[in-house]
Structure 1
């Protein structure tokens, strides 16, 4: 069986010669009280009928409620997360106001076993971080994307 695949965009900007990346804090009750390791590249799953670049752009829009800025996507490669999902990421230089997002939602039975299904945001907030700060915020497997972006920028 082929692994599940996700694609996303690591948006970056440079302020006073210091690169920053935009990360999303994962929504839902499991992540609500977590910070370190609870942030992600805005991303989502795609099937064999869609390429990773198209999926990354679509998922950015679905996750954040706005299309990514115009520009050329730069491949940051892929990683396999601990659950087996393969994540492909692309860097894109651009601006986005974190206060302007309108995140997509997902349904989850919560509390588990209660029979009550609730809607939660895909990401409950987004923020800009320096590369060093982003490394500690991101889920472990995605930290390599920051390292690859740093190598690309230098």
Structure 2
């Protein structure tokens, strides 16, 4: 069941991802492919916000943790890797190829309230989970000054 409440960080991620997708499609040159060869692909992601952190979950089936790179440059988190197609047996002929192969890269601009230096990533059963802790907010402290 989807929540009807909106979250500011979710809106920021949604807008950024949609704009990235639009620009990627507009600037990426068309590629021709032979039968059975797939275009580069984008893993699907879920972005969740909890009280203490933001979590990005990317479905990347068919890869291991050694095949996936996670990095942060300035305030941009990048997931990248490559999924290679199994070598075709000469005695077999594909009738349909629906699985995605090739290089992928997804980038997300992190809001200022996250701590990129403390990011943790885990890869389990084809799902990459990246957890980004939120920066602890400093409570304003009032100091009474005596007037003389």
Q: TM-score when scaled to structure 2?
A: 0.26
Identify the structure with the greater strand proportion.
1
Relative contact order higher in (CA < 8 Å, ≥ 6 apart): 1
Of the two, which has the highest radius of gyration? 2
